[in-house]
Amino acid sequence: MVNVAVIIPAGGSGKRLGGVLPKQFLRLGDTPILVASVRVFERLPEVREVVVVAPAAYVTRTTRLLKRARLRKVSCVIAGGRERQDSVRLGLEHLSAAPDVILVHDAVRPLVTAQMIRGVMMAAKKYGAAVVGVPVKDTIKLEGKKGFYTKTLPRHLLWAVQTPQGFLFPLFRHAHVKAAAAGVIGTDDAALVERLGVPVRIVQGEQRNMKITTKADLALARAWWRKNR
């Protein structure tokens, strides 16, 4: 069995959904979004530990929340850095031991499934790096000057990338070291590995594995939760 660790960056400095709390503390039914996200990984025997990286002001609240939920694979809750990439790097530094595969998952993607997670972890073990994603449905155009587009991108080649993203641990740690040395901030975790010339495997995801960023996202996630839970 592959030995897996998970880092869950739980940001809190961005736009709030009409309240004072970061989005990960909002609820789907009676379950906080963060708890729902962590619990999917908690139930997988391949996952040895989970490190949650929270905003410094919310470390205590996050720790209490996860303890009340009895999520025993959460090895620690730590304060994050300025950028998401910094938070992930700090998470790597707080793992209790080196896993075979490291997964990184957004705290506000609570509708991820075990099938998606296992698909990424096995692809990462085989290919070195993998992401979950869905084919783009809309036509994408590249903007030029003054609001005019200059090119239509081939839709059949485009994917909307989600999380989890998974990597062989030594590769991902090396990618972070190289990015930090070069002062590079990647658009996602896979971008750091791509810089090293490593191809990233795409695993089919689902539209429901949305990142909750808007009120519409939250309403949709709650509707799905009511229907399926």
The hierarchical CATH code for the domain 4-228 is 3.90.550.10
Please give the residue that has the higher pLDDT: either 147 or 127. Answer: 127
Per-residue buried b or exposed e for 36-46, using 16+ beta carbons within 10 Å of the residue's own CB:
bbbbbbbebeb
Where are the domains positioned within the chain?
A: 4-228
Residue 39 confidence class, pLDDT cut points 50, 70, 90? very high
Please give the Cα distance from 20 to 185 (Å, whole number): 28
Spatial separation of the C-alpha atoms in residues 163 and 156, rounded to whole Å? 21
- Residue 144: the pLDDT is 84
- Between CA 72 and CA 79, with CA 77 as vertex, the angle to 5 degrees is 175
pLDDT digits (tens, 9 = 90+) for 166-213: 999 999 999 999 999 999 999 999 999 999 999 999 999 999 999 999
pLDDT at 18 over 60: no
User: Which pLDDT band holds residue 163 (cuts at 50, 70, 90)?
Assistant: very high
Summarize pLDDT for 46-79 with one digit per residue, the tens.
999 999 999 999 999 999 999 999 999 999 999 9
pLDDT tens-digit map of 87-122:
999 999 999 999 999 999 999 999 999 999 999 999
Lookup: tokens for 183: 């002062």
